[in-house]
Structure 1
């Protein structure tokens, strides 16, 4: 563990720093990153020694409670923060609460604006979902030399804007292997093969909770089957509740508390007088 001060000047410990990431990149040590939406998921991830967690900025405080010492990135959702002022305020708020970095899919000006405030920031290259309409849909990017070079150019622009890393989504694996040697960014590969410095997957995909997972995902569990079983058990329980109310079996004597006998007599007497 490394002692660090957060952006809000709180003295804490982290499993990983950005300097460590660059040292790992230099020697080819792969790192791992998994999404979390709440403290329960974050605790599971941290317990299994995953290097990094990424979460939405609104979920960050709860996720941090589950993983107090894990490097956590807070993603600034495009629809949550609209203007540059809102984006910067969101980034500062997340950093003040202890987020170790923020991620934004927005413009280079936005990345530079956040970096200029001393906040560790990451961008997003390749198949950025919010830009898929411009790419002809959800598809792999970088299958041609021109597209691969364009991804590298995006990385270099992020470097110039002050980013330390980027999410690389659905890029041809051999394209990333070739261009990653030409960037200093910490690359987080999701659907872009093993050449990324960080291999990244969604928690629900790993746990087998996604009914139709993307091609790049693999599960090491069968959470979907457990969810279906839980759904059936919930349906059975809710029906049981309705049937018990209809039959008069619920609430039963063990579920209620009665008045003191003498107080009930007083109440009935008082009600009779009112009638």
Structure 2
């Protein structure tokens, strides 16, 4: 039996993608599950989940008892709009991802203080409250000092945030010149007053692109527990998942340690890599960029998916 299970995470109820993704992966992975919000169908390997896509770590927790098996060594999670390099399969995934039995994978581990100026999810992380009313979650996480030590074990630092990371640089379109000057002056004064102020997180948190990650069998139970805690308290997924990995993993590998690198396509220039495929999935799979671990996003509804 295969030692890995592929678990495909859907942000939305795209049932039509089930068969397409089965076609893509069925010859490469013997064990496949789909986590789909509000699924009402009959397929045995499709697990209905009930959570916001902004907190899809909750999907992982809710589906756990269905996809868990003692014989699995790794749990390989991918988004439904992410296409893994076709060379990766259940027999060689550990070589490509440099995974030993106790190793987990996440694309990156970026401290929130390293995120540069304003990112709305840094603000939400700063305001995140484990003591959310109606959720008794505080004692379900390691205490601050223990969490800090776990971060330190991986060489990760938790540093304070700056004012400009939490308060967006102000612009004043449409205001009359005098009003614009007054508003700008007021904002600049506030900035100067807070220039050297340090803003400390209430709990150690890390960030990462999270549309692909792998969890070792040794870590999976603790990992899904922390994912559930973070989902119930509303922590954004790209902070929740990497933080849960740091808190639960014995060893972590990230993309910079690999020969294959990620292919996240966010700008028009980055998307040009897809031009030669003419939105034909078969062409992409037959001529996948050989140095890329994955391509994301690939919105299958916009592609010719005949294989």
For normalisation by structure 2, the TM-score amounts to: 0.27
Query: Higher RCO, 1 or 2 (CA under 8 Å, sep at least 6)?
Result: 2
Higher helix share: 1
Larger radius of gyration: 1
For normalisation by structure 1, the TM-score amounts to: 0.29
